[in-house]
Amino acid sequence: MHAYIVEGGRPLSGRVGVHGAKNSVLPILAAAILAPGESVIHNCPALSDVSASLDILGRLGCRTAQSGGTITVDATVLTGSSVPDALMREMRSSVIFLGAILGRTGEANLSLPGGCELGPRPIDLHLEAIRALGAQVREEPGGRLSCRGALTGREIVLARPSVGATENAMLAAAAARGTTVLHNAAREPEIVDLQAFLRALGAEVRGAGSSTVVIQGGKPLHGGEFTVMGDRIVACTYLAAAAAAGGSVTVTGADPAHCSAVTAVLQEAGCTVRSAGGAIELISRQGLRGAGAVHTAPYPGFPTDAQPPVMAALARGRGTTLFVEHMFENRYRHVSELRRMGADIRVEDRVAVVCGVDTLHGAAVEAADLRGGAALMVAALGAEGESRITGVHHLDRGYASLAEDLSALGARVRREELTFS
């Protein structure tokens, strides 16, 4: 077991780049299944979720190779359409393979996915979209799903703008006969990235980034080359870290427009934020203040993934900030650990009231999920004394070089293997 040891109270300074987006590369790796041939994907981060995706691709018969940030997927021949339960449980995003496997082979057998425990995240919208395209879906004992059938394009209206369901529908529809029109689609930048990759494979897709996506299915697909967008949530985490610790940090590699809902909150909290040439500069020197009410929402609203690290930063803001979590009901699992560090946070259902305190103190805390772990790191950087953060395997799912990046900015962070006698 590993832990991050963080010595807080040191202002951050300098420039840091972010790696490729976790929430983009995972559906793109799944999409590579659709195209017989070799796809070359650049800017792929070294994350445990990416490794799990490569294991799934290998199980299906794809040949994969990784050199630095470039992954090559040869999906010329698939030897299977089934994903074992153990691989599915490694990450929540494993369900994104459903549409691609079904579209390529005409059948898919897999189990319910794993990942962070953020409350019920049913895949009903995924299955409804797949059924709408003509697949027969059978839910079997033990949480297994069996899907098969030829797919035909049609109009689909999602009950809510789910990112995963939008992506799964796009992947399946790219292999279906005819045109699919997907209404109430999620609008996240990662979906625009998926559309661009599908186009690189020869698919005809338009409308991503709006609420209506049109996919002309049945086009002959081939391997392609693509570069994954920068990770906006990693960028927002580093900005929150700078806000908490103080100092001046410039983040590069992510589109400033994709981070605007978060930077607006940090500006309201007293930070100076400037964007130019694809970089975001944040200056935090006067101490933070409460930022009013922060409501998580689908893009372009405030991202639920940024809520925990921003909350951690504002735990030391003078005054009160109200967080309302509209996306996941268990998104406040980091609060009890922030309280160990001296934060004054009260939670009632989906509302968290953060009353800023003068000082947080270092403590031994444990990450319960990916973004909650990021919150503990942000809090530890702004706290007095030393913190020990365990549960870092959650952080490995979304941050490829967390200690190295923060250390380059002047933080004292190290990763240690814990031994028990």
Binding residues for phosphoenolpyruvate, as ranges, are 22-23
Query: Bridge partners of 284?
Result: 247
Q: Is 271 tagged catalytic?
A: no
Distances from the Cα of 285 to the Cαs of 244, 245, 282, 307, 327, in angstroms? 10, 9, 10, 22, 32
ω into 300 cis (within 30 of 0): yes
Catalytic residue among 116, 147, 259, 271: 116
Cβ atoms within 10 Å, residue 171: 28
Edge to edge, the sheet with strand 144-148 lists 107-111, 144-148, 136-140
> Which residues line the annotated binding site for UDP-N-acetyl-alpha-D-glucosamine?
92, 121-125, 305, 327
* Rg from Cα positions in the chain: 21
> Which residues line the annotated binding site?
22-23, 92, 121-125, 305, 327
Question: Distance between CA atoms of 299 and 232, rounded to whole angstroms?
Answer: 12
Contacts of 76-80 spanning 24+ positions with Cβ under 8 A: 76/36, 76/37, 76/38, 77/36, 78/33, 78/104, 78/105
Question: Distance between CA atoms of 104 and 385, rounded to whole angstroms?
Answer: 54
Question: Distance between CA atoms of 89 and 393, rounded to whole angstroms?
Answer: 14
Distances from the Cα of 78 to the Cαs of 7, 57, 74, in angstroms? 49, 9, 9
∠ CA 279-244-377, nearest 5°, is 95
Contact present, 410 and 13 (Cβ < 8 Å) = yes
Question: Distance between CA atoms of 238 and 305, rounded to whole angstroms?
Answer: 13
Query: Bridge partners of 302?
Result: 296
Contact present, 287 and 382 (Cβ < 8 Å) = no
Task: Report the catalytic residues.
Answer: 116
